[in-house]
């Protein structure tokens, strides 16, 4: 069965520092990959997605992610975080045999130190 | 503006009562979803519907029911059979045969 792992439950980063959030998936073929962000008490907003093509994808709010097939990873990065980036981040995977369902990681909570 | 609305934002109920959460979308999406979110557990799928008058159970359907009488609407009823109903509930929608989901703002249900 497909699965998505976000190994870090919490990450604390100083404002202005770089960020990398990890996401690993388990699936044989190339999946459809997503990163969503959720502010406290809110719904989820799509940051970026990867279906095919260039393995480095750009998203909203200055985020990017890189698909690495050899590592089954889709890590999210930002060169310099702002206090407004404090939120929970979810990685999700869509597999071709999943009836268009998304399989969700457990999320990583990003804390920004002033 | 197109989007998904969920009402109310906060809902309080006494144990043993059924409660219905509203979800409406004007995105003309065919598919709709209900998720439950608990701290540290990510999103768990309750029910989903890919076309009107049809829906399927997700991973945690026990104690919940849905209907899909209109394309725009996918209400979720939390029944008294749901043992631990207090949670944050999220509704989402997507185009037909598309993985990208759009989310509503959520409803926080508290049952005491």
What confidence category does residue B93 fall into, taking pLDDT thresholds of 50, 70 and 90?
very high
User: If DSSP codes are grouped into helix, strand and coil, which group holds residue B18?
Assistant: coil
pLDDT at A100: 84
**If you search the block for the tokens 């989402």, which residue do you land on?**
B92
Contact B68, B74 (CB under 8 A): yes
Reference A89, options A1, A19, A18; nearest CA is A19
pLDDT at A38: 97
Other Cβ atoms less than 10 A from the Cβ of A55: the count is: 12
Contact B39, B95 (CB under 8 A): no
Tell if the CB–CB gap between A46 and B4 is shorter than 8 Å: no
pLDDT at A30 over 80: no
Contact A18, A81 (CB under 8 A): yes
Closest partner residue to B98 among A41, A100, A105, by Cβ? A100
Handedness of CA B98, A102, A100, B70 (dihedral sign): negative
**pLDDT tens sequence across A69-110:** 999 999 999 999 999 999 999 999 997 777 788 999 999 999
What confidence category does residue A29 fall into, taking pLDDT thresholds of 50, 70 and 90?
confident
User: If DSSP codes are grouped into helix, strand and coil, which group holds residue B69?
Assistant: coil
For residue B2, the distance in angstroms to the closest alpha carbon of chain A comes to: 14
**pLDDT tens sequence across B65-82:** 999 999 999 999 999 999
pLDDT top residue among B94 and A101: B94
Angle at A29 between CA A19 and CA A73, to 5 degrees: 15
Contacts of A43 in chain B (CB under 8 A): 4, 6, 90, 103-106
Tell me the average pLDDT across B5-16: 94
pLDDT top residue among B4 and A96: B4
């Amino acid at each position: 069965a497909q699965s998505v792992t976000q190994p870090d439950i919490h990450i604390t980063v100083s404002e202005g520092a770089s960020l990398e959030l990890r996401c690993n998936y388990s699936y044989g073929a190339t999946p459809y990959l997503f990163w969503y962000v959720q502010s406290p008490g809110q719904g989820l907003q799509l940051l970026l997605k990867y279906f095919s093509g260039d393995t480095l994808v750009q998203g909203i709010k200055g985020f990017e992610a890189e698909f690495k097939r050899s590592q089954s990873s889709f890590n999210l990065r930002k060169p310099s975080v702002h206090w407004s980036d404090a939120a929970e981040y979810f990685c999700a995977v869509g597999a071709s045999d999943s009836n268009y369902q998304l399989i969700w990681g457990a999320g990583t909570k990003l804390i920004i130190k002033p | 503006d197109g989007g998904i609305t969920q009402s109310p934002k906060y809902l309080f109920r006494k144990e043993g009562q059924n409660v219905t959460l509203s979800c409406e979308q004007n995105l003309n999406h065919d598919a709709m979803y209900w998720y439950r979110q608990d701290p540290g557990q990510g999103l768990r799928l309750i029910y989903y519907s890919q076309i009107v008058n049809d829906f399927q159970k997700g991973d945690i359907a026990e104690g919940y029911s849905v209907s899909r009488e209109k394309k725009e609407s996918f209400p979720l009823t939390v029944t008294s059979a749901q043992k631990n109903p207090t949670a944050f509930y999220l509704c989402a929608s997507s185009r037909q045969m598309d993985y990208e989901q759009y989310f509503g703002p959520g409803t926080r249900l508290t049952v005491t």
